Chains A and B, each alone.
Chain A
Amino acid sequence: MPTRMAQTDTEQMGARAASGPPRRSIPVVELEDVTKVYDGGSIGLEQASMKIGRGEFVFLVGPTGCGKSTCIRLLQKELEPSRGEIRIAGRTLGEIPRARVPHLRRNIGVVFQDYKLLPNRTIYDNVAYSLQVIGESRQEIRRKVPDILRLVGLATKLHNYPDELSGGEQQRVSIARAFVNHPPLLLADEPTGNLDPETSIGIMQLIYRINRTGTTVIVATHDREMVDKMRRRVIELREGRIVRDELSGLYRPDESTTEFAVRLRGELGVGAEGHPN
């Protein structure tokens, strides 16, 4: 029953997303009753449904093991859902043949907690790789890579290797790599998980700036401070289920925010009963 409620919530909210497009446009990301059970029997995601419109900024929050990473990996088609359907820009992921998966991934920028830079390439080459992959010409690469590295504030470290950079700098490189070919969707899995609060703010600024260019951004995080300060849409997961979906939420709402949420939902014509928080 709680799931049902959350589901209806999600649908309505997706349609009315603040910065979102008009009602009729196709959501960038759509999960429909998605369940992921791992081979060992553990549940990654259970009957999760959500719609995320174009240009939205969404936080996926919840404790470790709640299904945030599963969700991100499902969206990249790194995993296949056990049940349910995932659509990205209207295309069902299950119907994309194996050979077309690289093309899907070129349209999704990804930022990881552990950066996942290629250790035997310079910063420049790391970013250039995601352009080489799409067959971009050399002139274009020479033009775009320094540009994006200037944007993330690493113009002076072009020819350093990843292990010569600090964590924050490495994360900037990985953001540059994810964004260099301007994908319509950016996924970030704990982008600030390994960083100190000051550095985290810098990283989040970057991601926010990318969002402002019209890119849809989904950030999985347990950085409470960040979520509370940014007041964006929050989808909370717990043991694989979506337990909360608020348009402008806190990491874990205190008393007054819950009241606010009740009021918010009341306006949308949905009762708050059965909500776990």
Chain B
Amino acid sequence: MRDVRRVRPIFFLREALRGLRRSSAPALAALLTVLLTALVLGVFIPIVQATTGTANEVRSRVVVDVYVSESATGEETADLRRSLMSTPNVESVEFISKGEALSRAKEKNPKAFKEGAELLGSNPLPASFRVTPEDPDHLQQIVDALAPNGQPRLAAIDEVRNREEETDKILSATGLVKGLTAGLAALLVLASIALVANTIRLSVFARRREVEVMKLVGATNWFIRWPFVIEGMIVGFFGGLLAVLLLTVAKETLIDPLSEDFALLAAPDTIDFPLLAALLMLACVLVAALGSGITLRRFLRV
């Protein structure tokens, strides 16, 4: 009895291969379904990530500008910096001196400032602190802390500005994009699982008579189930493998050359390709194996 147990995995594997060989049409259908859904997911996951990444990047541009009054001394400015740092929800503070502000402005609009600055004789731009919030959704919190009701709390503050309209637009637009992509991703994953599970159901269903006979001959449930589960794993593995191969080819020939020109494709936040491939393979094998194992339950109740 002991050496029989040792032999069993090989027996189950042989049974699974026999099943695949003798009912290759449904197996092929299941493999194609796995392949297609894995392909779609493989394309969609990086797109979702790039989109949310870009949305997040846009959100990080939401800042509060704190303008330092002309009369503030060096010490007052340092004090202001400290109090900004200790304000809740502040992630980082960047000091922009008058000179820096001018050079940035020149960069943005060279024509106006090249001659304008010379014409004015002195630098008209104030020094400022650029405050980046931890959570862009609660930007107003910072503004209220620094200047309740528009009145600056410290003498060194000339004005607190958060470009309100712009901020609101950015926040609502990126929020919508993130919500939509998340919803689409969830739908797609659900649809993929349902599709793969359904195809496998059909291929198991085609063999329910066989399962019934096995039960009547006295096979235990797991004795019947293992070959089916292994079959599912093989189908899932090869479907996933083909999908990953196709994705690799597409990435090498299409995306990589283009990514130099399109920022979205080269978005830094997207998942590493090897990790994506591994995840897809794992998901394919798991869904296929579980699909056939669970579907079998119904026919095992004899």
A residues neighboring B (CB under 8 Å) = 76, 78, 99, 102-106, 110, 116-121, 129-130, 132-138, 177
CA distance A90 to B45 in the complex (A): 62
By the criterion CB–CB under 8 Å, are A129 and B214 in contact? Answer: yes
Q: Which of B19, B22, B213 has the most CB of A within 10 A?
A: B213
Contact mask for chain B residues 1-32; partner A; CB cutoff 8 A; 1 contact, 0 none: 10111010001000000110011000000000
Does B210 make an interface contact (CB < 8 A)? Answer: yes
By the criterion CB–CB under 8 Å, are B210 and A130 in contact? Answer: no
Beta-carbon nearest neighbor of B223 in chain A: A133
Give every chain A residue within 8 A of B217 (Cβ-Cβ): 105-106, 110, 129-130, 133, 177
Q: Smallest distance from the beta carbon of B222 to chain A beta carbons, Å? A: 10
Beta-carbon nearest neighbor of B15 in chain A: A132
Q: Smallest distance from the beta carbon of A196 to chain B beta carbons, Å? A: 25
User: In the complex, given contacts A105-B215, A116-B216, A130-B217, what are 13 additional A-B residue pairs having Cβ atoms less than 8 angstroms apart?
Assistant: A99-B220, A102-B218, A102-B221, A110-B217, A120-B22, A120-B210, A129-B214, A133-B217, A133-B218, A133-B220, A136-B4, A137-B4, A137-B7
Q: Smallest distance from the beta carbon of A215 to chain B beta carbons, Å? A: 16
CA distance A117 to B3 in the complex (A): 28
Give every chain B residue within 8 A of A106 (Cβ-Cβ): 217-218
Does B302 make an interface contact (CB < 8 A)? Answer: yes
- Interface residues in B183-239 by Cβ distance below 8 A to A read 209-210, 212-221, 223
Q: Smallest distance from the beta carbon of A97 to chain B beta carbons, Å? A: 12
Other-chain contact of B7, A103, A133, A134, A138 (Cβ < 8 Å): A138
CA distance A76 to B302 in the complex (A): 10
By the criterion CB–CB under 8 Å, are A105 and B216 in contact? Answer: yes
By the criterion CB–CB under 8 Å, are B220 and A135 in contact? Answer: no
By the criterion CB–CB under 8 Å, are B219 and A119 in contact? Answer: no
Given A132-B11, A133-B223, A78 contacting B216 (CB threshold 8 A): yes
Given A120-B23, A120-B210, A138-B7, A133 contacting B219 (CB threshold 8 A): yes
Contact mask for chain B residues 259-302; partner A; CB cutoff 8 A; 1 contact, 0 none: 00000000000000000000000000000000000000000001
CA distance A137 to B22 in the complex (A): 25
By the criterion CB–CB under 8 Å, are B213 and A118 in contact? Answer: yes
Q: Smallest distance from the beta carbon of B214 to chain A beta carbons, Å? A: 7
Give every chain B residue within 8 A of A132 (Cβ-Cβ): 11
Q: Smallest distance from the beta carbon of A79 to chain B beta carbons, Å? A: 10
Beta-carbon nearest neighbor of B22 in chain A: A120
CA distance A99 to B19 in the complex (A): 25
CA distance A129 to B210 in the complex (A): 12
CA distance A120 to B219 in the complex (A): 17
Other-chain contact of A118, B210, B218, B220, B223 (Cβ < 8 Å): B210
Beta-carbon nearest neighbor of B18 in chain A: A120
CA distance A133 to B5 in the complex (A): 12
Give every chain A residue within 8 A of B11 (Cβ-Cβ): 132
Beta-carbon nearest neighbor of A117 in chain B: B213
By the criterion CB–CB under 8 Å, are B218 and A116 in contact? Answer: no
Q: Smallest distance from the beta carbon of B204 to chain A beta carbons, Å? A: 14
CA distance A194 to B123 in the complex (A): 107
Give every chain A residue within 8 A of B210 (Cβ-Cβ): 118-120
By the criterion CB–CB under 8 Å, are A102 and B302 in contact? Answer: no
CA distance A276 to B302 in the complex (A): 36
Give every chain B residue within 8 A of A130 (Cβ-Cβ): 217-218
What are 17 pairs between A and B in contact, CB < 8 Å? A103-B218, A104-B218, A106-B218, A116-B209, A116-B213, A116-B216, A117-B213, A118-B213, A118-B214, A119-B210, A120-B18, A120-B19, A121-B18, A133-B214, A135-B4, A136-B4, A137-B3
Give every chain A residue within 8 A of B214 (Cβ-Cβ): 118, 129, 133
Other-chain contact of A78, B5, B23, B302 (Cβ < 8 Å): B302
Give every chain A residue within 8 A of B3 (Cβ-Cβ): 137
Q: Smallest distance from the beta carbon of A142 to chain B beta carbons, Å? A: 13
Give every chain B residue within 8 A of A102 (Cβ-Cβ): 215, 218-221, 223
Beta-carbon nearest neighbor of B213 in chain A: A116
CA distance A120 to B210 in the complex (A): 9
Beta-carbon nearest neighbor of A174 in chain B: B213
CA distance A134 to B220 in the complex (A): 9
CA distance A106 to B4 in the complex (A): 17
Give every chain A residue within 8 A of B302 (Cβ-Cβ): 78
CA distance A180 to B221 in the complex (A): 21
Beta-carbon nearest neighbor of A116 in chain B: B213
CA distance A78 to B218 in the complex (A): 11
CA distance A59 to B220 in the complex (A): 30
Give every chain B residue within 8 A of A134 (Cβ-Cβ): 218
CA distance A133 to B224 in the complex (A): 9
Give every chain A residue within 8 A of B221 (Cβ-Cβ): 102
CA distance A76 to B215 in the complex (A): 10
Give every chain B residue within 8 A of A129 (Cβ-Cβ): 214, 217, 219
Give every chain A residue within 8 A of B213 (Cβ-Cβ): 116-118
Beta-carbon nearest neighbor of A130 in chain B: B217
CA distance A116 to B302 in the complex (A): 15
Give every chain B residue within 8 A of A110 (Cβ-Cβ): 216-217
- Interface residues in B227-261 by Cβ distance below 8 A to A read none
CA distance A121 to B19 in the complex (A): 10
CA distance A132 to B215 in the complex (A): 13
Give every chain B residue within 8 A of A78 (Cβ-Cβ): 216, 302
Give every chain A residue within 8 A of B5 (Cβ-Cβ): 135
Beta-carbon nearest neighbor of A138 in chain B: B7
Q: Smallest distance from the beta carbon of A176 to chain B beta carbons, Å? A: 12
